[in-house]
Amino acid sequence: MRFPVPERTTEISFCDSLLILQVRIRNTAETKVFLLRSFFWRKVLIIYTHQEPKSLNGSLKNLAVEELSKQGCNVTTSDLYAMQFEPRATRNDIIGCLHNSEHFDYGVESWEAYKRRCLASDLIEEQRKVQAADLVIFQFPLYWFSMPAIMKGWIDRVLVQGFAHNFPQCYDDGLLKNKLALLSFTTGGDEEMFSKGGVSGNIRYLLWPIQHGIMHFCGFKVLAPQICFAPKYVTEEKRKEMLTSWAQRLKTIWEEKPINCTPELYFK
Ligand code: FAD
Ligand code: ZN
């Protein structure tokens, strides 16, 4: 990728998504360091959960990959069903000796194994992707007021203590605190069902455990959710609108401010 660089630049280096320029001041031997953060180097991880590539979730995921790549972002997708991702948190995740083989405790064992770099390789790979990402998008259909089990399994196994949180390092001090997270999901019920007086109740109630209890707990700054209500039951035109509004939003996604996802937001 080509980009303009000041003439008197003496050194260019990269660190995370920062471009570091060292520039000599005119007619002196003095240099100044500039840190530039650009979306050209931003990294996005999409955790995608749908069995059918032709689904609306598949289209929303493809659109995000296309739009963000067009911006110059580096986009990685974890297609959990295609990867046959293992959702069960078991002792198979710990390679070698257990910390306490008398009484298996997944939380303790995964924490100890993380420190010893003894977690299963699929977890290490997913943690590497999360660590590299500036933004993690979770793309999924709503299952039982929550995410599909395979995505919950990804959360159980990947966001382990030591990597994502380490009490008291949680919420604003969570270990992933320099990252953004966004839930993009589809529903079966329509918007009215998920309104305050609707039969399913305000959709915010079900966002609470995920946005606050998982994302914010791990330190992520949470962006507003992208919700496509009842795509199966709307017209083709409406579905096209859903896709267009997602593409439009992604064009300015880096300018968005995180939402306040404290409990009051959900229950006021
Ligand atoms: P699809 O059926 O794949 O897509 C909808 C339509 O969009 C299709 O006709 C498809 O062809 C079309 N489409 C795809 N791409 C495009 C494109 N580019 N342009 C135009 N059209 C396109 N719902 C709830 O509300 N609450 C629940 O608690 C809940 N629990 C569930 C639990 C389970 C186990 C299951 C299986 C479903 C549950 N649902 C629930 C319903 C589920 O959330 C919806 O069926 C799902 O969100 C619909 O999204 P989809 O991507 O699967 O839609
Ligand atoms: Zn919160």
- Pairwise CA distance, residues 151 & 138, whole Å: 9
Residue 189 alpha carbon to ligand 1 centre in Å? 10
Residue 163 alpha carbon to ligand 2 centre in Å? 19
Residue 235 alpha carbon to ligand 1 centre in Å? 13
- Pairwise CA distance, residues 48 & 81, whole Å: 8
188 in contact with ligand 1, CB cutoff 6 A: yes
Ligand 1 atom closest to the Cα of residue 185 is: 47
Give the model's pLDDT for residue 194.
97
144 in contact with ligand 1, CB cutoff 6 A: yes
53 in contact with ligand 1, CB cutoff 6 A: no
Give the model's pLDDT for residue 1.
47
- Pairwise CA distance, residues 200 & 192, whole Å: 9
182 in contact with ligand 1, CB cutoff 6 A: no
pLDDT tens string, the chain, 268 residues long: the values are: 455 666 777 777 665 556 677 777 777 878 787 776 555 679 999 999 999 999 999 999 999 999 999 999 999 999 999 999 999 999 999 999 999 999 999 999 999 999 999 999 999 999 999 999 999 999 999 999 999 999 999 999 999 999 999 999 999 999 999 999 999 999 999 999 999 999 999 999 999 999 999 999 999 999 999 999 999 999 999 999 999 999 999 999 999 999 999 888 888 7
User: Which mutation among 60, 66, 138, 186 tests ligand 1's pocket best, with the greatest number of atoms within 8 A of CB?
Assistant: 186
User: Which mutation among 48, 49, 63, 187 tests ligand 1's pocket best, with the greatest number of atoms within 8 A of CB?
Assistant: 187
56 in contact with ligand 1, CB cutoff 6 A: yes
Give the model's pLDDT for residue 40.
60
- State the DSSP H helix or E strand holding residue 180, giving kind and residue range, or none if neither: strand 180-186
Residue 228 alpha carbon to ligand 1 centre in Å? 9
Instruction: Give CA angle at 41 (129, 132), nearest 5°.
Output: 15
Any residues with CB less than 8 A from the CB of 221 and at least 6 apart, and which?
177, 179, 180, 181, 258
> Taking the model in full, what pTM does it have?
0.89
- Ligand number with the minimum distance to the CA of 61: 1
234 in contact with ligand 1, CB cutoff 6 A: no
Cis peptide before 258 (omega within 30 of 0): no
